[in-house]
Every structure is written in structure tokens, then in C-alpha cells.
Structure 1
Amino acid sequence: MKQRKYPVEIIKQVVGIDISKDTLVAGYGTLSINQEQKITPAKTFDNNLSGFRELISFTKKNKGTLTAPLYFVMEATGVYYENLAYFLTEKHLKVIVVLPNKTKNFSKTLDIKSKTDKLDAQMITQFGLERQMQPWQVPSPLMKALKALTREYNSIKRMAAQVKNQIHAKEYSYEPLKESLKRSKATLSVFQKQLKEIEKQLKELVQNDSDLNDRINKIDKIEGVGFMTVVSIVAETNGFALIENTKQLTSYAGLDVVHNESGLKKHKTTISKKGNRFLRQAVYMPALSACKHNQRLKHTYIRLVIKKNIKKIAIVAVARKLLVLIYTIFKKNVDYVPNYIPA
């Protein structure tokens, strides 16, 4: 194979990867000592083991004999990046996982008028070449177990809620089949037993780590927030490892506000919902409870309902404040002060 020639010293190499459920789109770029960038056209691979191996071959072909530091940069898009990140880390390659809001803000500074997966991959590559970033921290066995168990718990909880609704509908229907109702109740009983088992396992895991247990117990004192809420949020953020500030946190949860204005037109303001849906779901129901039992958040809720006349906007605002409060207590390892909400 003919090797590429680089007359100017290369000081950095980046493979920028745009990841979706089924595919990886990767671009390769170099940065010279003169700050000159070169980025190849992006190539698409399957998001599976075969595709990962093809990505390595693609990288080796572009890399040639270069010895400059090589980084694989990707966004923390739901769960779809995880298998690739673990695969590359196990091969002792440098992996950087960034929150989507960072690349989104970076893309706004570029003169890119279209949006495709291949353009996004090249944008991520350029982002990696220009920015200094912290390597991805592989979740500890404890954090990995907490994430798996909390997701299993929340999945079973949703199924249990569906079965409860089915039982309610059957009980109030005309002459329901007794056998069908019996089976539904038996199914619900199984789900409830599994939920208790998972919660018990989670508590045992947390109690074995004194520092984590202490932090979670402090957060557990917030009105409307329970153990499962706290452990779910901690697990989904890997103990807030990638989070540097509250703005990043709300963006990662998809609770950041999106304004839609153009000229004199002002459209409906929404939340992005582009973050981690598990994190967003974990804080939503506790927010409903906090609106009733936490006096400061209750005041916020009532004020926004009066101002906006839309309850959902008020609940989302409370969810955002609640998430920030949990983050602050966990990171600073301080006691919860009732009714205090950081700005």
C-alpha cells in the first residue's frame, strides 16, 4: 500500500464519528504544526462489531505511518455510542465522548448550510482537531451495574403501569373474563416482586460504597425525591463525570429551552428533548411530587402556571431546578437545605 507523505509535521489526528442506532459515519482529520487542517470525506459503517473493525481499518489506511496522537471523538447520543466507546477503549485507543450541546454550539460557528450525517462527522472531526478535551472515563463496574439495574427497573415499572391500567379497564368493563383478569393480576404480582428485588440489589450496591451512599442519602432528603430517582440520575450521568456546569446538565437531559424566533415572528418555546431520555424521565415524576411537597418549588410552579397558563411548562421548569439541585448537592457533597434552590 502506498503510504501518504506529510511534508509538514502532524501534531494531532482525529476520527470524528456521528453515531445513530444502526450506523457510524466517520471522518478522519489531521492538524499540522502550522495549524493547517485536512479532513477526509466521511465514510459510513454499521454500528456493530463488524463495522467497528472496518472503522479501525479505515483509520489505519488514513493514518499510514503517522505517530501523532490519535483521538476518536463522538457524541454522547443516548446509548448508541457505548458499544463503540468500550470497543475502542479495550484496544487502548484514546476515546473522547462529548455532550451534544458542545458540538452543536461549535457547529453554529461554521459556515455549514446543510445538515447530513457525513457533514456532522466532518464537523465533529474539526471540533476534535481544534479543541482540547478530557479522555472518556470508562464507567466503573459499580456505575455500569447501577445503570443496567435502574434501566431494568424503570422498564419493568412502565410495564407494570400498563398492566395496572388493563386491570382497571377489565374490572370496570361489562362481565369481564375472570381468567383474563386473574392472569393480569398474576403478571402484575410478578412485576412488583421484580421491582422489589432490583431495588434491594441497588441499595446493597450503593451501601457497599460509603462515599456514594453518603452523597445519595443527602439528596434523598429532598421533598419529592426518592432513592430510585437519585440512583437513576447518578447512573445515567456516570456520577456527573462529563458534566462541567448546570447548563451542560440541562442540555444533556434535553431540558434546555429552545427559542424559535425570526424577525418579528415569535413561535412557541419548547425544550429540546435531544438529551438523555432516561435522565429526563427520571426527574419528571419527582418534579410532579415536588410541586406539591417542596414549598419553594411549589411556589415556582404556581408562579409559572399563572404567568404562562400552561402547566407542562411549569412542571418542566421545576424538573430542571430539581435536577440542578441534585447535581449541586452531589458534586459539592453538601447537606440539603430545605427550600433552597440554586439560581
Structure 2
Amino acid sequence: MNILPEPPPLVHLGVDVAKAELVADFQGRIRRFGNDPKSISALIKAASLVPGIPHLVCEATAGYERQLAAAAMDKAVRVSIVPPLRVREFARAHGRLAKNDPLDAALLSRFGASVGPRPLQPKDKIRLQLDDIMRARAELIDSMQRELNRAEHHYCPVVVRIHKQLAAGYAKHIATLEAKAAALIAGDRDLSEADALLRAVSGVGPQTSRTLLAFLPELGHVGRRTIAALAGLAPYDRDSGKSKVRRFIQGGRGQVRKVLYMASLVAMRHNSVLKEFYQRLRDAGKPFKVAIVAVARHLLVHLNAIIARKLEIPIAV
């Protein structure tokens, strides 16, 4: 009888990320690399020489981790970006109060081995560009709104005019990014087909579709519970003993949750299925926000199923 060899073990390697430096924990041995393409290549090469299957684990660090993540996925090396708060709570739970770069790298290794974070899904160049464009668009919208808010708190005409001119400049750049995003999607067959399917659902506009395509690559690949959790729309219990507290949502990807919330406001008025669903919840005494979040979750699950059918992927219902 042939006995299949055991697969190599998964080895989690923590990487503490800073603007200029990456501090990596190679199974107890700390190594330092620059946060630049050449040094990142050296880090990934060193990781690939570790016995087992390497899985890099780093924290979200103001975007400084994105170059490492992209390079790792390009070399088919597993990589996860985890929320810093989860890692800090993990440290406190284990009585680790001290904090420095080598300790943080070792802590990320231990966190990865204990929690088993989901590795990032590789993105092609078009999706990476779309991701970057949509992130920049969101940042410019925030900046534009801040300028408009500042204009409201000034009385000097010159100051008001300056803030409004700045806001108009942001609006122009936002329009440029939106046009570029539309062109990217139109030029890619898979994205174009997915975009058409999403926008065919009443309540889903171009910005909602582009945001989902950019920030939720798991759409159509996972079940309804997972996709709701990724978007931060999954309700969680907070019960203790006889105390039954109202369920709440938390975590997930803020940009995705925000656009789905806005889309659900439109859908509950113009989408007959979601309109009836919303009204049924309201008639049952559910508060407005509880009902609208449920509509957003219902909408996302429906969109997830649509993309899964397109990809011919059987997902858990």
C-alpha cells in the first residue's frame, strides 16, 4: 500500500512593518530588511528557504505593508494583513505588555500560528490599479468634504472662496479617477461582465459596483456568512447568563459597508424585493438602522450569489 507523504507544515513568519524597515521573525531569529523592492525580494527569498510552507503575517500599517503584500502574492507566498487591535489584544491576553519591533515580529508569528488568519487573495494588475484608484477617490472625497465644512465656519468672503475653490479642485480630480476606473473595468472582460451583473440589481450604482470589485475580491467565492463578515454586516451576540443584548455588527471593510449602506437606502425604495423585506422588518418593530443594515446584508448576499453563478462556483448558502 502506497503511503502518501505528509504535506509540509505551515510556518507563520511575523513581519513588523515601518515606513523604512521590515523586521521579520524567522522562527526565533530576527532579521531586518529595508521597505523597498530589492529588500522585500530578499525577505521573500529568505522566507521561501524556511522548511515548510511560509505564511507572512503583518499588521495594517497606514499602507506601508501593501508593497510587501503585493510582492509576496506575486511570488505565490501566503501573506495576511491583520488589524493591529486584534494583535494587541492577543498580546494582552498572553501577558505581553512590552513592545518593540523584534517583539512585535515574534508576536505576529505567534498570532498567526494560533489564529490562522486568512491569506490575501492575489489580484491581477487591473484589480490592483482599481483598488488604488478607489482608495484615492475615497480619500479625495473626505478631503473635499472637509473643505466644504470649513467654508461653512468662515465669514470672510476671501476665505470662503478659497475653501470652495479647493473643494472644486478635489471634485475635478475625483471625476478623473471615476473616469479612469470606468475605463479599467470596460477594458477587462471579467470585470466588465461582473460590473454589468452587479449594476443590473436595482439600488446598485457604478460607485457601489466599483467599490465591491476593488475591495471585495472574495465576492462570489465564499458563503453568505463569510461575505457578510468581510463587509462588517454580520450580527454578533453579546449575551451573558440571562442577559440578552441586542445583536450588533462590527469589524469588516469600512468602504464596502459604507457603499452598501447607501445602496440599501436606494434599494429599499426602488427594489421591490428589498422594499418588501424592509417594510416587513419595520412592521415587526425593528428600528430603522437595524432594518437598513439587514437590507444591506440581504443585498450583499444576493450580489454574492449572482457572481458565484457567473463563476460557476458552488457556495454555502
State the alpha-carbon separation in 2 of the partners of residues 203 and 14 from structure 1. 40
1:294 is aligned to 271
Q: Partners of 1:193 and 1:294 in 2: how far apart?
A: 32
Looking at structure 2, the residues matched to 10 and 239 of structure 1 have their Cα atoms a distance apart, in angstroms, of: 26
Change (3 A) 1:299 1:261: same
**TM-score for both structures, normalised by structure 2:** 0.72
Note if 1:215 corresponds to 2:203: no
Alignment of 1:11-90 (within 5 A): 11-17=8-14, 48=35, 63=50, 68-74=51-57, 81-89=65-73
1:272 counterpart residue number: 250
Q: Residue type of the partner of 1:83?
A: Q
Partner of 1:196: 175
Instruction: Compute the displacement of 1:89 (Å).
Output: 4.4
Q: Which of 217, 228, 233 is matched with 2:212 structurally?
A: 233
Q: Is the 8 A contact 2:238 2:247 kept in 1?
A: yes
SS at match of 1:280: helix
C-alpha distance in structure 2 between counterparts of 1:220 and 1:326, whole Å: 10
Change (3 A) 1:43 1:252: farther
Query: Aligned residue for 2:229?
Result: 251
SS in 1 for 2:9: strand
Counterpart-to-counterpart distance in 2, 1:253 and 1:26: 30
Change (3 A) 1:288 1:57: same
Indicate the residue corresponding to 1:316 in structure 2. 293
Residue identity matched to 1:95? R
Per the TM alignment, residue 226 of structure 1 is displaced from its structure 2 partner at its CA by 0.8
Larger Rg: 1
The match for 2:131 is: 147
Q: Indicate the SS of the match to 1:266.
A: coil
Q: In the TM superposition, what is the alpha-carbon distance from 1:156 to its structure 2 partner?
A: 1.8
Aligned counterparts of 1:197 and 1:20: Cα–Cα separation in 2: 32
CA distance in 2, matches of 1:267, 1:18: 38
The residue correspondences of 1:61-210 to structure 2 (distance < 5 A) are 63=50, 68-74=51-57, 81-89=65-73, 92=75, 94-97=77-80, 114=94, 121-126=109-114, 137-167=121-151, 169=152, 176-210=155-189
Matched residue count: 292
In structure 2, relative to structure 1, the CA distance for the partners of 1:10 and 1:144 (3 Å cut) is: closer
The structure-2 alpha-carbon separation of the partners of 1:209 and 1:69, relative to structure 1 and needing over 3 Å to count, comes to same
Q: Percent identity?
A: 22
Tell me, in whole angstroms, the C-alpha distance in 2 between the residues paired with 1:312 and 1:44: 49
* TM-fit CA distance, 1:15: 2.0
What amino acid does structure 2 have at the position aligned with 1:327? N
- Report the residue type matching 2:159 in the other structure: S
- TM-aligned CA distance change 1:230 to 1:291, over 3 Å: same
Q: Which amino acid aligns with 1:271?
A: I
Give the whole-Å Cα distance in 1 for the aligned partners of 2:290 and 2:34.
Answer: 36
C-alpha separation between the residues in 2 aligned to 1:205 and 1:164?
A: 30
Cα distance in 1 for residues equivalent to 2:53 and 2:115: 14
Letter in 1 for 2:147: V
Q: CA RMSD in A?
A: 4.2
**Preserved contact between residue 17 and residue 59 of structure 2 (Cα < 8 Å):** no
| SS of equivalent residue, structure 1 residue 298 | helix
Cα distance, 1:58 vs. partner?
8.7
The amino acid across from 1:70 in the alignment is I
Q: In structure 2, do the counterparts of structure 1 residues 162 and 289 end up closer, same or farther at CA, with 3 Å as the change threshold?
A: farther
Task: Mark the runs of 5 or more structure 1 residues left unpaired by the alignment.
Answer: 1-8, 29-39, 335-341
- Comparing 119-128 with 284-293, which one deviates more in the overlay? 119-128
Q: Structure 2 vs 1, CA of residues 158 and 252 (structure 1 numbering), >3 Å: closer, same or farther? A: same
Q: Which runs of 5+ in 2 are unaligned?
A: 1-5, 97-103
